[in-house]
Structure 1
Amino acid sequence: MINIYNDINALEATFRKTPEFEALTEAVATVKADEEALQIFKNFRKIQIDLQQKQIAGEDILEDELVYAQKAAQLAQQNAKISAMLTAEMQLSKVIEEVNRILVKPIQTLYEGL
């Protein structure tokens, strides 16, 4: 019997060794080591989560909330350490997207020609 979870766990271990994951790990450590960058990022992240929760709940997002979120995002992007971390995260996301594309390929193949 095939146990896909063994393969997935092996993939996860390999994933942690990719240059993209290692770059993100280093970038996160750099942000954590800088108290100012860490606080800016935590604030930015909290605002993102709060707005997402409002959207999920079907609540309207107020104009002043959007303006505040945009200012927080600009402040985060202006910080070189945070910007480098977000860039590293985007590079890692590309790897995840490719893995996902490969994983769903058998399903897509099943539906071809319907």
Structure 2
Amino acid sequence: MTNIQESAAQLEQAIRESEEFQNLKQAYELVMTNADAKAMFENFRRIQFELQEKQMQGLDITEEEVTRAREIVEQVQKHENITRLMEEEQRVNGVIQLISQVIMRPLDELYGNPDSM
């Protein structure tokens, strides 16, 4: 295994052990152990995935789909445990974005990206 691969494996482990990931894991388990919350969350994720897939394929999203997605988001936002799960997911995503910025710094510097200087 190369030094970079070893570092990546260590970074993976650090993410798994991080407070942010542990909080996300607890929030996820809380949602998954409640049948109503689980069904609501899985429906939300399915709709989200379907709409993203349509966008990536360049397909139009209908007004009906937008309305349905808004209704589901409103329902999800009313559920305390799902809201917490989504907040914790945002925190983990923030950590991953920060890591990505650090990892990309050599390329940004090489190509002269002004944001990295």
With the shorter chain as reference, the TM-score category is over 0.9
- Name the aligned partner's letter for residue 37 of structure 1: A
Corresponding position of 1:20? 20
Backbone CA RMSD of aligned residues: 1.8
Q: Does 1:96 align with 2:96?
A: yes
The count of residues paired between Structure 1 and Structure 2 equals 114
Q: Which runs of 4+ in 1 moved over 4 A?
A: none
Give 1:10 shift: 1.1
Q: Does 1:111 align with 2:111?
A: yes
Give 1:2 shift: 4.3
Q: Does 1:60 align with 2:63?
A: no
- Name the aligned partner's letter for residue 52 of structure 2: Q
> Secondary structure at 1:16's aligned position in 2?
helix
> Secondary structure at 1:58's aligned position in 2?
coil
Matches of 2:58 and 2:29, distance apart in 1: 36
Matches of 1:88 and 1:45, distance apart in 2: 16
Matches of 1:60 and 1:33, distance apart in 2: 36
Deviates more, 1:91-100 or 1:50-59: 50-59
Deviates more, 1:2-11 or 1:98-107: 2-11
Query: Aligned ranges for residues 24-103 of structure 1 at < 5 Å?
Result: 24-103=24-103
- Which residues of structure 1 form unaligned runs of 5+? none
- Which residues of structure 2 form unaligned runs of 5+? none
Matches of 1:92 and 1:54, distance apart in 2: 26
Matches of 1:57 and 1:2, distance apart in 2: 37
Identity of aligned residues (%): 32
After TM superposition, the score normalised by the length of structure 1 is: 0.93
